Each structure stands twice: as structure tokens, then as C-alpha cells.
Amino acid sequence: MNAPTSIAVGAKPAADPSSDPSLSLFQLLDPAVHADPYPFYASLRERSPVHWDPFMSTWVVTRYEDVLTVLQTFSADRTPDEKQMTALGLPKLGPVADMMSRQMLFLDPPAHTRLKKLCYAAFTPRRVDAMASKVKAIAKDLLDRLAPKGEMDLIADFAEPFPALVAAGLLGVPLEDHRQLKAWSASFAEMLGNFQHNPDRIRGVLRTVAEMQDYFRAAIRDQEKNPRDGLIRALMLAEVDGERLAEEEVIANTIVTMVGGQETTTNLIGNGLLTLIRQPDVLADLRAHPEIMETAIEELLRFESPSQHTARIAKADTTIGGKLIKQGAAVMAVMAAGNRDPERFDDPDTLDLRRQDNRHLAFGWSTHFCFGAPLARMEARTAYAMLLERIDDIALATDEATLEWRPNSGLRGLVGLPIRYRPSGA
């Protein structure tokens, strides 16, 4: 796959949208487009809502209704097998594909139904509720140290360690391992969130997967000798209708849960706070009215979706928006574009923390709806409430133009967010 030569969004439209490089998802590799992808998504939605992208060999849907159709009816079983990997020139990624083929995210019913039922039997609402006080203690502990300093890098100092510590607590592994969990998650997410596989990264991803598998296998052995509460133990013991998870399934789904919960939550905190800093009146309103926190988090999820797109495969020939998508074709469903669709949301480019009609797509939809959404929402509410309680007069500590976004078009988030503030509260 070769990227089209850099052609800016807004270049003269070609007659056939498919041949127009300015509408290719490759545009997201341009740092300026990635920094604010919404005008690009709007031109796709307006000019070619069901778009064949020949540069990516995929269909791209950007309207809310079409994203829903794809998430509801297309196949999530998209992990290439060994033969397809070899054809892609990536034979060495076989062990990664092997593990992913056991993760719920990449399976269709009935295999998906079986796995998700067993995983839900372990990850109960009671387990999430029981995490609430731990999550609060983690946020408090971080802010006890950060608030008096008057400045921090929100990403490195708070938005990354916070969900990593929560993940360690949730799984039941030592909290001091959170840095290692974060490093593995970042490495794996770089592959998950990007539609372009970088051959130079293959060795790193293979090492990451092997290390994670060894770590969680050892955690299972340890649990057998010294049982400790946590999701790993609950997955080992989960039983529904006489079915249990095999050890490799426990490991694979522990990994998808650990990774799924980190980059996304970091992005929700980082991108969300940047959005609020850019709109000081809205930030002041949230500070003055903490009772709107719930709708505020939903709006931040809609407005700056931490997971921007996902992929599916057509199960059968399907017509969407008058375009025939052939069986077996790849489709990118751009949730972040659907979340700004004016056909679905009033004033979609306006941040309205009190928005009521807000069934956004940020957690996906139906079968693969986010497994960790209740925990993610609770983490976000806790993080924002505690940040607003402990720090005041929040401002960027750098020129906005110097902010950098990680080169990950799917899991879109900042490299760093230097802020300065006045400590407040206790």
C-alpha cells in the first residue's frame, strides 16, 4: 500500500470521488488533518458518504445511519489467517493473529456470544461498583502529588498512569506492574489503531504479544497457588451452561480488556480536557455545575471520540446508500464522523455538555458494544470530578501549535498535554 502524494483536503474535487486522493483515509496520516480530522470527515460525509477508497482498498462509511448498519450487520471476524498474512508480506505476525482470533473483538456469533457471556459472568456490575472506591483512591493519590506542583503533563503524569493503575487493580495483578501494562498496551494499540502495518514494528509487536502471554500465564499459575480477587481469577472460574474458558482464551481476553481500557480512557481524559481548555466558558460551567457530569462525559465521548473508527467485512453483497458492497469487502466504519453527522445530532460541531439526545457511537454498537463502558464512564466521571476539585485556573502551558498527536488514526490521542494551574481543594 502506498500513500497518495500529499494532497491537502479541499483540493479541487475530482468527478469520481473514488479517484480523489483528498477523500482517502490516507489523509489521516497528514499531521495537520489528524490534529483536526472533522472537516475531512465532513467532506467525506457530504461528497461520498459510502466511499470506495482505492488507495486503502476499503469502503469507508461516515454517516451515523450507515455506521450503525455496518456495526449491526457486517462481520467482525477480520483477523487474517496465516495464508493471508503471508500474502500481505507479514508471515511473522502469525502468533499475533492466532491470539487475536481468540479475542471477542474479532469474532462473530456464535463464537463471540459464547466468549462474551463467559466474560460478562466475570465482569459483573458488582465488580465495577466494587472498583469505584479503588478508582477514586488512585485518582486522589496521583493528584495529591501533582496538584501542589502547579503544572504537569496531563498525559504522562495523569491520563496514562490512571487507567493503567485501574487496569492492574481490575485484573488483580500488582499495582507496581502498571508501567509495564502501559508499555505493552501502547505497543499493541499502535498496531490495533492503525490501518497501515509498519514492517519495522513487527518485531516489537511480536515481542509485546509474547511478553504479555508469558506474564498472564504466570499470573494464572500464581492465582492457582495464591488466589487473589480480580478479573483474571474471575475469568478462570467463569462458568455458563457448563462452558468454561480455555487458558488461552483467558489470556487473549485479559489482553484485549487490558489494552481496550487504557488508550481509550487516556484519550477521553486528554482530548476531553484539551477541548474544555479551548472553551473556558464551558469548562467554568462544568466546574460550577458538577451535577451535569454524566451528560458532559457522554458529550466529550461524542465530540472527541477516543476510538475513531473500526473495521468490518461484508458478510454478503449489501447495498448501502445506493452503493453495492460485495461480499468479503473491507469496510471502515468511522464512528467519530457519525458522531458529528448533522442528520443525527443538532449542531454536531457544538460542544453541549447538557445534550440530552446523545446516543453516540463512541463505544460502538450492538454485538461488540464496549465491554468496559460502565467502568470507562465511572473512571471518566471520577477523573474529571477530581481534576476540577483539585486544580483551578487550568491553562495550556505551551503554545497550542506545538501540541503533537500520536500517529494512530484510530486511537487518536495526544503525545503530551502540558498544563499549568492553581492548586485548590484538599
Nearest approach in angstroms of CB 263 to ligand HEM is 9
As beta bridge partners, residue 391 has 423
Give the residue among 336, 381, 384, 378 at the shortest CA–CA distance from 360: 336
Considering the complex, state which of residue 338 and residue 372 has its C-beta at the smaller distance from ligand HEM: 372
Residues ≥6 apart with Cβ < 8 Å to 342: 348
Taking CB under 6 A as the rule, does residue 21 contact ligand HEM? no
Q: What is the x/- site pattern for ligand HEM, positions 373-392, by CB under 6 A?
A: --xx----------------
Tell me the closest approach of the beta carbon of residue 221 to ligand HEM, in angstroms. Answer: 23
Residue nearest to ligand HEM (CB): 372
Q: How far is the CB of 196 from ligand HEM (least distance, A)?
A: 18
Q: Burial letters for 275-310: b for 16+ Cβ neighbours within 10 Å, e otherwise? A: bbbeeeebbeebbeeeeebeebbbbbbbbbbbbbbb
Structural contact between residues 92 and 207, judged by C-beta atoms closer than 8 angstroms: no
Among 42, 61, 118, 268, indicate the residue that binds ligand HEM (CB under 6 A). Answer: 268
Crossing angle of helices 373-390 and 293-303, rounded to 10° = 110
Of the residues 49, 193, 230, 372, which one makes contact with ligand HEM according to CB under 6 A = 372
Task: Tell me: does residue 364 bind ligand HEM (CB under 6 A).
Answer: yes
Which residues 194-223 are close enough to bind ligand HEM by CB under 6 A?
Answer: none
Mask of contacts with ligand HEM, 94-133, x by CB under 6 A? ----------xx----------x-----------------
**Window contacting ligand HEM (CB under 6 A); options: 213-221, 257-265, 313-321, 402-410:** 257-265
Give whichever of 147 and 219 is closer to ligand HEM, judged by the CB atom: 219
Stretch that binds ligand HEM, among 3-11, 148-156, 194-202, 252-260 (CB under 6 A): 252-260
Count the site residues for ligand HEM by CB under 6 A.
23
Check binding of 64 to ligand HEM (CB under 6 A): no
Kindly write out the interface string for residues 71-90 of this chain, putting x where it contacts ligand HEM by CB under 6 A and - elsewhere: x-------------------
Q: Which of 184, 363, 384, 421 binds ligand HEM (CB under 6 A)?
A: 363
**What character string, x for contact with ligand HEM (CB under 6 A) and - otherwise, covers 298-317?**
--------xx--x-------
Q: How far is the CB of 89 from ligand HEM (least distance, A)?
A: 25
Instruction: Tell the smallest beta-carbon distance from residue 207 to ligand HEM (Å).
Output: 23
Is residue 362 part of the contact set for ligand HEM (CB under 6 A)? Answer: yes
Closer to ligand HEM at the Cβ: 257 or 318? 257
| Identity of the residue, 282 or 380, whose beta carbon is nearer to ligand HEM in the bound complex | 380
Maximum pairwise Cα distance, the chain? 67
Smallest distance from ligand HEM to CB 2, Å: 26
Positions that interact with ligand HEM (CB under 6 A)? 71, 104-105, 116, 256-257, 260-261, 264-265, 268, 306-307, 310, 362-364, 368, 370-372, 375-376
